[in-house]
Structure 1
Amino acid sequence: MSVATSKEVRDPDVSAVAALDEPTRRRLYDHVVRQSGSVSRDEAAAALGLARKTAAFHLDRLADESLLDVVYERRSGRSGPGAGRPAKLYRRSTRQVAVSLPDRRYELAGRLLAQAVEESDATGEPVRAVLHRKAEELGTQLGEQNRTDVFELLERYGFEPRHEDDAIVLANCPFHALAREHTRTVCGMNLHLLRGVLKGIDETGIEACLAPGPGHCCVRLQPAA
């Protein structure tokens, strides 16, 4: 079983939320997303009573954080020589930003549960069996895509892993609220997800098992038998 030290990693969602904490930047963001079309620097500056340079700085910061998309258009409607340079315009980004402390991954759980219901309805295979298979397939995919130490991967997905003797306990369950109300279903899904992760990173020295207890996730990683 390999051991990794915790590393500080820049979280893009946290950075994006932090960017909106600046009042002028937040006003600009709110203005742009309320418009039906793209907004130029001049239009944004005039609407909020800002200097063009100030508006440009904050709009570009929002674009750097992927909160706004940048497009280039000729507002005159003309093309060809003499039509002028395309204007730099801003519009709402398609990116979704979500920050939860502790880390929660309800969208991932919802996607797996929806896939299981749909495939079960189409094939007649029991929903729980499909859910376990889909969870393990997703875990394997995550492991293969992130070929890294299991401890680091668990940190990245919000499990808050901790070493306890020769095992790894998970201090946080990313599906906490669901697991409290639907324990058997969600913990079983989580177990197969983490089994898939271990398979995906080709970690044979550790196995995932159910070990529910207060204050931590229902799954525990321990030396393989």
Structure 2
Amino acid sequence: MPSAPTPDPTESIADPIETVAALGDPNRRKLYDHVVEANGWVGRDAAAEASGLRRGITAHHLDKLAELGLLEVDYQRLSGRSGPGAGRPAKVYRRARRDVDVSLPPRDYALPGRLLADALVAASTTGEDPGRLLDEAARREGIALGAAIAAGADEGGPGAEAAMVALEARGFEPTQDQDGTILLRNCPFHELARSHTSLICGMNHCLLTAAMESAGVTLDASLEPHDDMCCVRLHRRPIGDRPGSQPGEES
């Protein structure tokens, strides 16, 4: 039987709060639990029978759970037959293999965990300093983030605006000061940064520096630790320091 493609665990899904809230509906929760307990693909008829719900209602709730990223969808012939007369494939569901995390304020411990793991694996092979390798991994991540910022700018938004959109999606909660400085009100790596300040803040600084450089925006990442905020601030680059600027130009 065909199987659904393996999802990218880094791919974003619907708003996680909305996703988890969907399970507050008793019927959706009942259907979700049934699919989880089945530990495999479940068709609409079987789910309706197990839940005691009408098939139309069952289909609606299963599709909503799939839309929110809680279930994966495939089409299979449940009779086990193939060829002429086997009938059309039926829509089936199973629990999604990607994670759904809800945290207020936003936290992201998967990213530093992945970068730290990459650095340690590389260090065990090369014997290089893990801290330096972590910074290199953070810069690579920053280049990818910069590409997303540049794509947003290409769609017509100013560079700083596109940067704020991308940083908001990463949980930094950016806000712009009167002088154009972007303040990051939230640290997605808060607990790690508290216990390993130099390591994690250095990683974050490398990531955001590479992101701004890769995006080509006129913002410089500066390491400026503040209580209850991210350790990095993004300052507007003076016009005279921008590529293509003319001597004597003023901001």
TM over 0.5: yes
How does 1:122-141 map onto structure 2 within 5 Å? 122-141=125-144
Provide the C-alpha distance between the structure 2 equivalents of 1:215 and 1:129, rounded to a whole number of angstroms.
27
Q: 1:163 aligns with which of 162, 172, 176?
A: 176
Matches of 2:163 and 2:202, distance apart in 1? 20
Contact 2:176/2:182, CA 8 A, preserved across alignment? yes
Q: Secondary structure at the match of 1:19?
A: helix
> Percent identity of the aligned residues?
49
Whole-angstrom CA distance in 2 between matches of 1:95 and 1:131: 25
1:219 is matched with 232
Residue number in structure 1 paired with 2:23: 20
Distance 2:112 2:34 in 1: 34
Give SS of 2:53's match. coil
Which of 168, 181, 200 is 1:186 aligned to?
200
Give me the whole-angstrom Cα distance separating, in 1, the residues matched to 2:84 and 2:236: 70
1:90-169 equivalences under 5 Å are 90-147=93-150, 148=152, 149-166=162-179, 167-169=181-183
2:128 maps to a residue whose letter is E
Q: 1:11 Cα deviation (Å)? A: 4.7
The alignment partner of 2:116 has SS state of: helix
State the distance in 2 between where 1:160 and 1:36 align.
Answer: 38
Query: Which runs of no fewer than 5 residues in structure 1 stay unpaired?
Result: 1-9
| Residues in 2 aligned to 1:138 and 1:75: alpha-carbon distance in whole angstroms | 43
Alpha carbon RMSD of aligned pairs, Å? Answer: 1.7
> Which shifted more, 142-151 or 209-218?
142-151
Q: Deviations over 1:87-124 (max 9, x none)?
A: 22211122221121111110001011111111122112
How far apart are 1:18 and its partner, in Å?
A: 2.8
2:42 is aligned with 1:29: no
TM-score by length of 2: 0.80
Alignment counterpart, residue 60 of structure 2, candidates 57, 61, 75: 57
Q: What residue ranges of structure 2 are gaps of 5+ in the alignment? A: 1-12, 153-161, 239-251
SS in 2 for 1:66: coil
Which residue of 176, 198, 210 corresponds with 2:212?
Answer: 198
Highest RCO, 1 vs 2 (Cα 8 Å, sep ≥ 6)? 1
SS at match of 2:47: helix
Please give the secondary structure, in 2, of the residue aligned with 1:222. Answer: strand
Contact 2:142 2:207 in 1 (8 A): yes
Runs of 4+ in structure 1 deviating by more than 3 angstroms, as ranges, are none
Rounded Cα–Cα distance in structure 1 between residues aligned with 2:220 and 2:86: 65
| Aligned counterpart, 1:6 | none
User: What is the Cα deviation at residue 170 of structure 1?
Assistant: 0.9
Question: 2: CA distance between counterparts of 1:79 and 1:222?
Answer: 63
Q: Would you say the 8 A contact 2:149–2:163 is kept in 1?
A: no
The within-5 A match list for 1:60-75 is 60-75=63-78
- TM superposition shift of 1:37: 2.5
Amino acid at match of 2:192: L
Mapping 1:170-181, distance limit 5 Å = 170-181=184-195
| SS of residue matched to 2:94 | strand
Q: Count matched residues.
A: 215
Cα distance 1:181–1:70, how it changes in 2: closer, same or farther (>3 A)? same
